[in-house]
Amino acid sequence: MTTSPQDPPQPVHLAITLRAREGKVAALEEALLRFVKRSLDDQGATGVHLFRPVSGTDNREFQLHRSFRSEDHKRDFYQSEMYQQYQRETADLIEGPATIRPLHGFEAFFRGGHQPPPPRWKMAVVTWLGVFPAVLLWSRLLSPRLTALHPVAVTAIVTMFVVITLAWVIMPWLTKLARPWLHAK
């Protein structure tokens, strides 16, 4: 989907997987911690969370969840001298290329700043709090006007409006409102 010039920039969330070379886990962790701290000064970065390998295991994978204000900020970040320097510093520490996967949909709504994602049950409660009123609203508004259509077509139209409302209105607002509860210890 393309955006028009009037649309506000959409946040971008990424899941990044890096595998340390044999015997380089500690060195890569130190380099990642330095880079994470430096990268938070970037104006377009809205957060990063580092997941380390479980100590005492043979696992050498690091996971990062990184968020940016927009696609333009993400592009600028990955083209920056700071990122290029990080690439040079870690070239001998990382085995193979990093795997970068965009986070889309509802999983991205629950990413916030430097905090780990909230428990799944809390994400489910907040999602239900958004879905219930959206379904109620759109089914009440649209169903009486669509009586000439097959029930499957009515359901398709109602759910289309529900998803659009959730993605662009309810979930951004609801996750912001519920953030203190979502991340409470």
Instruction: Classify residue 158 by burial, with Cβ atoms within 10 Å: 0-12, 13-18, 19+.
Output: buried
User: Does the structure show a pLDDT above 80 at 126?
Assistant: yes
Percentage with pLDDT > 90 across the chain: 53
Banded pLDDT at 107 (limits 50, 70, 90): low
pLDDT, one tens digit per residue, over 48-89 is: 888 888 778 888 999 898 989 899 999 999 999 999 999 999
Banded pLDDT at 5 (limits 50, 70, 90): low
Same domain, 101 and 124: no
User: Does the structure show a pLDDT above 60 at 128?
Assistant: yes
- Which runs of consecutive H residues, i.e. helices, occur in 14-150? 25-39, 71-79, 81-90, 105-109, 120-142
Domain membership flag for residue 142 = yes
Which of 51, 82, 109 marks a domain boundary? 109
User: Does the structure show a pLDDT above 50 at 114?
Assistant: no
Which of 109, 140, 171 marks a domain boundary? 109
Q: How many CB atoms lie within 10 A of CB 125?
A: 15
